[in-house]
Each structure stands twice: as structure tokens, then as C-alpha cells.
Amino acid sequence: MGLFDRKEKETKNDKDSRGYIQKIVDETNFEIATEKNVDSLTAEGKTLLILMADWCGPCRLQIGGIVNMAKDGWFRENDVKPIYVDTDNNEKTVMKYGVMSIPTVIMVENGNMLQQIVGSLPKEVLKSKLKTAYNI
């Protein structure tokens, strides 16, 4: 399945049709980026763009580690704002950042992309890469 192929497109208003990743994102209170707000969300401070889709198996693995980092307080302690980007509904954002595969996480600071990581990584490896990119 290609990056922009869709499985049963969900509506934003139908809570029962929300996919696995969307439900997790809702429970963690991550910011959700759209085509209209992604630039303002990443304009100031350290942000982590989390680009995923519900139909992507490796995305489901990666979101678990990211959620655990949030529950452990890692993002709050390091002043990093996690922002979820649904790749199926934000094709312009996907193209803007040159995303070719998912899961992809993109480290942004004050509107500038610092680094992009493609693929599912163990939580500790991801933390190490984030610390390096953000100089934490």
C-alpha cells in the first residue's frame, strides 16, 4: 500500500470510526497538525512532528514508544511539543517535508527542520536521537 492510499477513510466526527493511532493520540492530548496549522505549531520552540497513518503496521509500533515517552514526562521535561500528523489527511505537509515513508518523525526547532528519522525505533534509541538533534 502506498503512502497516500487510504483504508476506509474515517470522518473526524465519528468517534467510533477513529483508528488505533488516532485513539492513542486523543488519549495523550498530543497536538494534531492540519494543513492550516502546522506552520504555526512548529514556529516556536522544539517540536516533534510524528507522521503516521492508521493502516501502517510500523507506525503502530512507533506510537507506543512515543506514548510511553509522553507518559514518562520526557517531552514535558525536555520542553518538546509532540505533534501528530495524519499522513492520509495532510498530503501538502507530507510533501513539504519530503516524507517518502512512514513512520517518520521530524525534529523542528523554531520553524527549522533539524533532522528526519524514518522507520520504527526503540524508545531509548529515539530519545538519544532527539537529545542529539535538540542539544538536550
Give the active site residue among 50, 56, 63, 126: 56
**Strand stretches in the chain, DSSP E:** 31-32, 46-52, 80-86, 104-109, 112-118
Confidence of residue 109 (pLDDT cuts 50, 70, 90): very high
Q: What percent of the chain has pLDDT over 90?
A: 76
Catalytic residue list contains 56? yes
Catalytic residue list contains 113? no
Question: Is the pLDDT reported for residue 2 higher than 80?
Answer: no
Give the active site residue among 24, 59, 83, 107: 59
Cell representation of residue 99: 516524507
pLDDT averaged over the chain?
A: 87
Domains in the chain, start-ordered, CATH in brackets?
16-128 (3.40.30.10)
Contact 115, 107 (CB under 8 A): yes
Question: Cell 511539543 belongs to which residue?
Answer: 81
Tell me the mean pLDDT in the region 120-134.
95
Question: Is the pLDDT reported for residue 29 higher than 90?
Answer: no
pLDDT of residue 18: 65
